Structure 1
Amino acid sequence: MIEVFKTNVQEAEQSQMIVKKLLEHFPNSTINFDLEDCDKILRVYALSICNHTIIEILKSYGYHCEVLP
């Protein structure tokens, strides 16, 4: 399963910290950012993905995150 999110993460250091935190919740996942994209894309590859949890984790660090259709 792949889920794609639009975020407002700007810096590589920020994205690395977020990936680390997300991997704590989804340890068997592949998670990455595409900060070159205008939507600052976050991609999550996992067997099971909880969109709400991902959005809430980013929100807890002050970032906006929404599922792209």
Structure 2
Amino acid sequence: MKKDGNYILATEDFIFTNDNNELEIWHNPKEYKMNMFELYRRNSEHTERITSILLYKDMVLTGSDDFTIRLFDIKNN
């Protein structure tokens, strides 16, 4: 069975998306710009497709088909 689907999670400041095993965090600037969103951070610590994204305060939690859960601090590396 083929699994597909991308996930999007949006807040006032950020948009979180996945592309297979890579988490992308896009920043939504307060002022208007021609390219409204800027890529803020990219993380590819998962080896399989990301299946869930959860946000709590300044942390983002991702689950994957590689049977792992990763926790990332949004503001710090």
- Asked if these proteins are the same fold (TM beyond 0.5), I'd say no
- Which structure shows the higher strand fraction? 2
TM-score normalised by L of structure 2: 0.32
TM-score normalised by L of structure 1: 0.34
- Which structure shows the higher helix fraction? 1
